[in-house]
Amino acid sequence: MLEHQKEPSRLARVSSEIRKTLAPQLNELGRNNKLGIVSVTNVGISPDLRKATVYVSVFGNDQQAEKYIELANQSSASLQKIISKRLRLKRTPSLQFVLDDVLNTEARLKELLRSP
């Protein structure tokens, strides 16, 4: 095994730190607006660290999830400021929030596997 493969890449480390920083903020945003419980499932970062796509799951109905994504994208500037204060980066990535539909897909697959 090569030496550089033992440590996570810089992108992975930054992604993980952004996820840890945003998770409580996004969950609070969902609770304060009565849009359900929110979980950050993944953060994808461009190689130049200029853009970050934040994948979230909303435990609520589809209408709540859509409203939440809209609200999160409207709040992206203030959330970006929180990241810039907590992480020491030359440039803080701009944030885009996307609904991660993994839980719904998983539920549909389980249902399909159960049916004859």
Chain centre to alpha carbon of residue 84: 16
Question: How far apart, in whole angstroms, are the C-alpha atoms of residue 13 and residue 25?
Answer: 19
| Cα–Cα dist 43/94, whole Å | 12
The residues, any chain, with a CB within 8 Å of residue 64's CB and separated by 6 or more, are 35, 36, 58
Prediction pTM value: 0.79
Q: What angle do CA 17, 20, 27 make, to 5 degrees?
A: 145
Average pLDDT over residues 49-77: 91
Q: Domain 3-114 is of which CATH architecture?
A: 2-Layer Sandwich (3.30)
Q: Average pLDDT of 87-91?
A: 86
If one compares 102 and 42, the residue with the highest pLDDT of the two is 42
DSSP state of 50: S
Quick: pLDDT tens for 66-77.
999 999 999 999
Q: How far apart are CA 70 and CA 55, in angstroms?
A: 13
